[in-house]
Amino acid sequence: MSQQRKLLSDPDAPYVQPLIQQITAQSKTTLANWAIDYCDRRLMPIWRMFDPEDQRPQAALDAARQWLAGSVKLPWVKAKILACHAAARSAEHDPAAQAAARAIGQSASTLHVARHSQGLVFYGALAIAYHRLGANASWDKLEPCIADVCADMLESLERQIEADHPILIRLYGENDLPDMMEIWNQIVEEGQAFPQEEFLTSDTVASFFADQTCSVVAQNRQTSRIEGLYILHPNNIGRCGHIGNASYAVRLEVRDQHIGEKLVRDSLARARQHGFTIMQFNAVVATNHRARHLYERLGFHFLGTIPHGFRLKNGIVEDICLYYYDLEGDTDVQG
């Protein structure tokens, strides 16, 4: 008889990592809707087979949905979640049911802390594998099943993302370059955020974006139009090469659609993937209140101000602000 696991313990497993990377780039609301729906469809049937009379896990999911709809207060939901965890403890002799209830409790908790949605992965995938193969199945048999479940979770999360967000964040392609040049040059022309004064041209645009650690675009799924972009690269060289830097650009007419926030969130996730441990912004113009508010809301730390560090297009000199984000410590940037 193999030793029974209570949860998956390897976040770097090849079938887990793509899912966790996608989770870290999403908003709290998207993650909560995804996790709660997945639990209802895949995990509640496992619990009902164990104890059809115990409604505590279902009550936790229902309470979380009510909170998302704005009809109940968080303390009331927390009580339902605690009751769900108590239900899990009562199922100690049924590993599939216990893992399912724990996944449900973690998923319902996503509305409070976004990273709790990862509990759906670590408990839920194991619950489904135990349910399908039996709690005494060997790891050699369980692992391929868990990989399939993780793939199913990723597919369902991507459907939720598409439903919640008409904007797709992806790596750029050659066909995107004309739109990217247009958007970048719009920011340069405004003269309020980028230090560059020279415009990209058809001769320089390809090498400019290719030379970055990565260049990423925001594409409208319905119209296919590129609405924004960012570039990610080292902030310095050599012994400071672990510090990243990014620049963001969004079309003027869609700047009220939170595309910039999506780009910043994605850049933090990709910066980690590329081995950066800190993100540093050297020259955020003090009067760029929208960007500063976003950075501070997402957890960036304000370092200080350099007086008269940026010359606006009209010749007025403004202060610039320095910010940093600890990519190893400041991990919860989901809204």
Full-model pTM: 0.59
| 35 assigned to some structural domain | yes
What are the tokens at 63? Answer: 């309470």
Alpha-carbon gap, residue 308 to 306, rounded angstroms: 7
Domain that holds residue 114: 17-164
> Do 129 and 200 sit in the same domain of this protein?
no
- The helix or strand, by DSSP H or E, that contains position 21, with its residue range, turns out to be helix 17-24
> Do 28 and 130 sit in the same domain of this protein?
yes
Average pLDDT over the chain, rounded to an integer:
94
Query: Residue for token digits 């008269």?
Result: 308
Q: Which residue in 153, 151, 117, 155 sits closest to 31, CA to CA?
A: 117
| 335 assigned to some structural domain | no
| 3 assigned to some structural domain | no
pLDDT in tens, 91-129: 999 999 999 999 999 999 999 899 999 999 999 999 999
> Do 177 and 218 sit in the same domain of this protein?
yes
User: For residue 1, is pLDDT > 80?
Assistant: no
Name the domain boundary from 145, 164, 183: 164
> Do 214 and 155 sit in the same domain of this protein?
no
| 288 assigned to some structural domain | yes
| 334 assigned to some structural domain | no
**Amino acid residing at 50:** F
Q: Which residue in 159, 163, 64, 58 sits closest to 110, CA to CA?
A: 64
pLDDT in tens, 300-318: 999 999 999 999 999 999 9
Strand order of the β-sheet with 278-285 is 167-171, 214-220, 226-234, 243-250, 278-285, 317-326, 301-311
Work out how many domains the chain is built from and give that number.
2
Q: How confident is the model at residue 2 (pLDDT cuts 50, 70, 90)?
A: low
> Do 121 and 189 sit in the same domain of this protein?
no
Q: Are 27 and 334 in contact (CB under 8 A)?
A: yes
Q: Are 232 and 274 in contact (CB under 8 A)?
A: yes
| 7 assigned to some structural domain | no
Dihedral of the alpha carbons of 221, 288, 194, 254, in degrees to the nearest 10 = 20
pLDDT in tens, 148-193: 999 999 999 999 988 887 899 999 999 999 999 999 999 999 999 9
The pLDDT, as a whole number, for residue 331 is: 56
> Do 66 and 130 sit in the same domain of this protein?
yes
> Do 251 and 287 sit in the same domain of this protein?
yes
Residues in Cβ contact with 97 at an 8 Å cutoff, skipping those fewer than 6 apart? 46, 47, 49, 50, 51, 91, 127
The pLDDT, as a whole number, for residue 298 is: 94
113 Rama class: left (phi>0) / alpha (psi -120 to 50) / beta: beta
State the angle between helix axes of 95-108 and 74-90 in degrees (0 to 180), rounded to the nearest 10: 170
What are the tokens at 96? Answer: 């599939």
What are the tokens at 70? Answer: 């704005």
Q: What are phi and psi of 197, to 5 degrees?
A: -115, -20
Name the domain boundary from 113, 131, 164: 164
CB count, 10 Å around CB of 20? Answer: 19
